[in-house]
């Protein structure tokens, strides 16, 4: 049994490249994201009280729920963790030591070699599937609850909304261009089983995906992406997201970027944990909301 969700929250970094990347992108995503790493502060914000007795009661109930095997909070975190490890592993293979990258903050890190467009699309699709699976685990729903997932996206706020903006920007617009969402289904239609298996997260997520076998799982990924893209298109329009605006926002916190956009995407995959970081925060918030309602 892993650590309780709120313990994981308290272990999140308060500074570093991940936090700087999220702070930069948050300039484009109004919604009040802050880097919450205190369980007490999270509970206070949810219940609207600083009563220490009530906070302790909510914390105890939250820890009890997160340890329960029949609850899905721990499994949701394991999905985010799988994606996080996978993106580091695959991005690391593209980093050739000895040449300087585009961020002056980090001297002589690497030459960043982006993946092909189809593999990048599969990686994005797998992350969307991870979001769908985490949502179903937290809410006790079947893994193929596509309509429920699509409806829930409209209510995403704070860290969940920022995570989706990061997914659109860092895994879509930067590596695939500003027409990434329009290209995504076509690219996924060209995807092969071997490309899916290149991503370590797939092996860890396959057991949670409905259907048997790789082809069924590719179909599941495409259906999830179809639901997500319909909402993500609106997010792009609402926030005015583009690859160039994402670069400019990141430069406010990371410093000037001198490489290509697709190289920046690989850099973020290799050296940041934005997906898992905000995933832990979002799961923790949902857990506290439920625990508070049950007190």
Q: How confident is the model at residue 97 (pLDDT cuts 50, 70, 90)?
A: very low
Predicted pLDDT of residue 87: 80
Predicted pLDDT of residue 3: 78
Determine the distance from the C-alpha atom of residue 58 to the mean position of all C-alpha atoms in its chain, rounded to a whole number: 26
- Reference 231, options 221, 219, 239; nearest CA is 239
Instruction: Give CA separation, 65 vs 36, 126, 175, in Å.
Output: 20, 27, 39
Q: pLDDT digits over 50-62, tens only? A: 999 999 999 999 9
* Percent of the residues in the chain that have a pLDDT greater than 70, as a whole number: 91
Predicted pLDDT of residue 107: 44
Question: 161, 208 in Cβ contact below 8 A?
Answer: no
φ, ψ dihedrals at 112, nearest 5°: -105, 115
Does an H or E element contain 264, and which?
helix 261-271
Predicted pLDDT of residue 198: 84
Question: Residue 111 pairs with which residues in a beta bridge?
Answer: 96
Predicted pLDDT of residue 211: 87
- Residue bearing the bigger pLDDT, 30 or 95: 30
Name residues whose C-beta falls within 8 Å of residue 186's C-beta, 6 or more positions apart in sequence.
none
CA angle 17, 111, 253 (to 5 degrees): 25
| CA separation for the pair 53, 40 (Å, rounded) | 11
236 token code pair: 């792009």
């Amino acid at each position: 049994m892993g650590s309780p969700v709120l313990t994981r929250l308290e272990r999140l970094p308060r500074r570093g490249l991940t936090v700087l990347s999220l702070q930069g992108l948050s300039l484009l995503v109004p919604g009040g994201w802050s880097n919450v790493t205190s369980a007490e502060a999270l509970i206070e914000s949810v219940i609207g009280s600083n009563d220490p007795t009530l906070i302790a009661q909510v914390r105890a109930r939250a820890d009890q729920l997160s340890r329960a095997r029949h609850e899905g909070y721990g499994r949701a975190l394991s999905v985010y963790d799988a994606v996080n490890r996978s993106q580091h592993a695959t991005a690391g293979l593209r980093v050739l030591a000895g040449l300087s990258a585009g961020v002056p903050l980090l001297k002589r890190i690497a030459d960043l070699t982006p993946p092909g467009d189809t593999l990048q699309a599969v990686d994005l699709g797998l992350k969307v599937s991870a979001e769908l699976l985490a949502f179903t685990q937290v809410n006790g729903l079947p893994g193929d609850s596509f309509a429920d997932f699509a409806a829930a996206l409209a209510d995403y706020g704070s860290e969940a909304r920022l995570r989706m903006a990061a997914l659109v920007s860092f895994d879509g617009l930067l590596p695939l261009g500003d027409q990434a969402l329009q290209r995504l289904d076509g690219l996924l239609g060209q995807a092969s089983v071997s490309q899916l298996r290149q991503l370590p997260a797939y092996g860890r997520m396959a057991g949670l995906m409905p259907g048997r076998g790789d082809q069924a799982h590719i179909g599941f990924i495409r259906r999830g992406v179809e639901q997500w893209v319909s909402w993500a298109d609106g997010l792009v329009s609402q926030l005015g997201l583009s690859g160039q605006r994402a670069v400019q926002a990141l430069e406010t916190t990371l410093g000037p970027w001198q490489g290509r956009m697709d190289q920046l995407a690989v850099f973020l995959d290799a050296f940041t944990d934005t997906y898992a970081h905000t995933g832990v925060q979002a799961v923790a918030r949902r857990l506290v909301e439920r625990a508070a309602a049950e007190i």
